[in-house]
């Protein structure tokens, strides 16, 4: 979230000002406007993460509480504040690198590129380290337009470098540049996951989706993130973005 790193939690904070969608816009034009509308200097968001082991069983889930700080396009810090079993677990994403602090052991682990497809150890769920990482869409993917109609524009993104995904499919709302659905593909699983961004509301003067649902077709599980409140362009202690201090 946050001028916000381009993590899966950053996509939730894409703004919607109702800009006109010009018929002649290229895929790059559209992606740049999506990124530009997320251009916030700093932000803080409080949220719940509901983890459903079986996507069709709405009664069986874990409820995790999270606070997230963001700065610029690449940097974000997340801390799990409940339940007690993972309280204090922290994730720092900084210019493409990631670190996790595990309070149970007091150790910090730097996440290797080959591990970024995995979910966070001790947390589980359907958001991977890569989903929680930084970088803009333009930086990470090359896009082309697959479809244009009155309801949505559909774009295909191919990673420019190393990635957990072989491609993304974005479903963008014409006129507001809100990504309402992201499809994730891998070479191994094919159509692996879908991220649905819904319940658009005005928070701190900005329109944004307040519910994100990640559907994992491979595991038949889902994770729902609920944004309760967010603040923008406020002062944040630099310790949250320091690999030597973020866990202290």
Indicate the domain borders of the chain.
8-241
Tokens at 97, concatenated: 């690198």
Quote the CA–CA distance of 130 and 127 in Å, as a whole number. 8
What is the predicted pLDDT for the residue at 120? 84
Is the Cα dihedral 84, 86, 90, 93 positive or negative? Answer: negative
Q: How far apart are the first and last CA of the chain?
A: 22
What is the predicted pLDDT for the residue at 132? 86
The CATH architecture of the domain made up of 8-241 is Clam (2.50)
Each residue's pLDDT expressed in tens, for the chain with a length of 248 residues: 444 344 544 444 433 333 344 456 899 999 999 988 777 789 999 999 999 999 999 999 999 999 999 988 779 999 999 999 999 999 999 988 899 999 999 999 999 888 888 888 888 999 998 898 878 899 999 999 999 988 899 999 999 998 999 999 999 998 888 999 999 999 999 999 999 999 988 887 777 899 999 999 999 999 999 999 999 888 999 999 999 999 88
What is the predicted pLDDT for the residue at 23? 52
Q: Tell me whether the omega of the peptide bond preceding residue 83 falls within 30 degrees of 0, making it cis.
A: yes
**Cβ(102)–Cβ(114) under 8 Å?**
no
Quote the CA–CA distance of 94 and 243 in Å, as a whole number. 8
Instruction: Tell me which residue of 13, 161, 156 sits closest to 73, measured CA to CA.
Output: 13
């Amino acid at each position: 979230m946050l001028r916000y790193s381009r993590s899966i939690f950053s996509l939730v904070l894409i703004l919607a000002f109702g800009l006109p969608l010009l018929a002649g816009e290229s895929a790059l034009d559209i992606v740049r406007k999506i990124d530009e509308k997320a251009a916030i200097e700093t932000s803080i968001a409080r949220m719940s993460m509901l983890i459903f082991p079986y996507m069709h069983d709405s009664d069986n889930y874990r409820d995790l509480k999270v606070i997230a700080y963001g700065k610029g396009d690449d940097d974000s810090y997340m801390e799990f504040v409940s339940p007690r079993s993972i309280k204090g677990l922290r994730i720092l994403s900084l210019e493409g690198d990631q670190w996790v602090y595990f309070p149970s052991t007091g150790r910090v682990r730097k996440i290797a590129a080959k591990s970024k497809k995995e979910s966070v150890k001790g947390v589980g769920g359907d958001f991977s380290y890569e989903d929680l990482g930084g970088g803009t869409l333009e930086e990470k993917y090359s896009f082309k337009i697959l479809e244009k109609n009155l309801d949505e524009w559909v774009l295909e993104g191919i990673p420019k470098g190393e990635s957990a995904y072989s491609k993304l499919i974005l479903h963008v709302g014409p006129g507001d540049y809100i990504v309402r659905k992201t499809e994730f593909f891998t070479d191994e699983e094919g159509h692996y996951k879908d991220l649905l961004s819904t319940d658009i509301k005005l928070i701190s003067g900005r329109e944004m989706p307040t519910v994100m649902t990640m559907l994992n077709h491979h595991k038949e599980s889902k994770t729902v993130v609920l944004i309760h409140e967010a603040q923008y362009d406020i002062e944040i202690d630099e310790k949250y973005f320091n690999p030597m201090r973020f866990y202290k």
